[in-house]
Amino acid sequence: MKTRKLGNNGLEVSAIGLGCMGMSFGYGSPKDTQEMIALIRAAVDRGVTFFDTAEVYGPFINEVLVGEALAPFRDQVVIATKFGFDVGSDFGGTPGLNSRPEHIKHVAEASLKRLKVEAIDLFYQHRVDPAVPIEDVAGAVKQLIEEGKVKHFGLSEAGAQTIRRAHAVQPVTALQSEYSLWTRTPEKEIIPTLEELGIGFVPYSPLGKGFLTGKIDQSTKFDSADFRNRLPRFTPEAMKANQALVDLLGAMAANKHATPAQIALAWLLAQKPWISPIPGTTKLHRLEENLGAAEVELTADDLREIEVAASQITVEGARYPEALEALAGR
């Protein structure tokens, strides 16, 4: 697996990471712990060094899972986790935000124990908290870095001005936000800002929460606990309309002897050398498929062809319900 540098602070990670949320949270009931430990370790065996979790996934059980799975490989991997929610509030409705400095420090101490580490490699603010100046947030993480409890500071779904203000207090190593062929909002303002400041980009949901794999259509029925049931973009009508994007990926995949998922990930990797997506999965064959995207070469002509075709497709449906969408881009 090739590696990439996130930002200018020396953080090197595998070109493709592994998002671990769905193993415990969001996509139905938590999966079998031992099976997920085996999957995470299989990822390590295949060269993945970048693993993503958060206290709110579960809550807490995903960090415990990741910590146990990666304990034997601690010196070989980068573990990212997040703070910023009052765990116990309704994550599916309007979650309670809390990025007060004292809360950040409390979360860091708890995450260190669950992850079984002496320092958190990358500590993201999960969502911007309008009640707390971003300078105070950055200052709290700066103190944790000075204490040796955190190595790198990250933001998630933050707007350009927030990124600049935070970066002025404590250099931001990476931004994690949704980015894929069906969520291209970061291209207008965020990616140029990151490039200017020397900050890496970690796209989450790089496969459109599974839709861009081509394995989901308007007849798909999700588990009752699957949060996609509540997403406007996953109504049958929206999925039918958005099938055009999957068809585009499928056509390119056929030319490249690849899969739609691999083309979607290869497209992201081709955008900038400091982008490292974190597709999630609970299945070994999907893990191997996703990692295979790192070997798919898209030429300049391929990228132009995708761009021309994608520009003629209008993605239907909002990413999130209004209350959750309001947390992004502040």
Question: How confident is the model over 103-146, as pLDDT tens digits?
Answer: 999 999 999 999 999 999 999 999 999 999 999 999 999 999 99
Contact 188, 158 (CB under 8 A): no
CATH value at residue 107: 3.20.20.100
Residue bearing tokens 């490249």:
256
**pLDDT at residue 88, rounded to an integer:** 64
Instruction: Spot the catalytic one: 57, 124, 179, 204.
Output: 57
pLDDT at residue 209 is higher than 80 = yes
pLDDT at residue 89 is higher than 60 = no
Which tokens is 104 given? 């950040």
Torsion of CA 131, 108, 174, 183, to 10 degrees: -60
Which residues, in sequence order, are bridge partners of residue 51?
18, 79
Given strand 18-19, what is the order of strands in its sheet?
A: 18-19, 50-52, 78-83, 120-125, 150-156, 172-178, 200-204
Stated pTM of the model: 0.97
Average pLDDT over residues 82-100: 76
pLDDT at residue 94 is higher than 70 = no
**pLDDT at residue 53, rounded to an integer:** 98
Domain count, the chain: 1
Q: Which domain holds residue 108?
A: 3-210+272-296
Q: How far is CA 27 from CA 31, 188, 229, in A?
A: 10, 30, 10
Q: Is residue 324 part of a domain?
A: no
Q: Is residue 157 part of a domain?
A: yes
pLDDT at residue 176 is higher than 70 = yes
Q: Is residue 148 part of a domain?
A: yes
pLDDT band of 91, cuts 50, 70, 90: very low
pLDDT band of 295, cuts 50, 70, 90: very high
**pLDDT at residue 326, rounded to an integer:** 85
204 is catalytic: no
Q: Is residue 315 part of a domain?
A: no
Q: Is residue 216 part of a domain?
A: no
pLDDT at residue 17 is higher than 50 = yes
Q: Is residue 228 part of a domain?
A: no
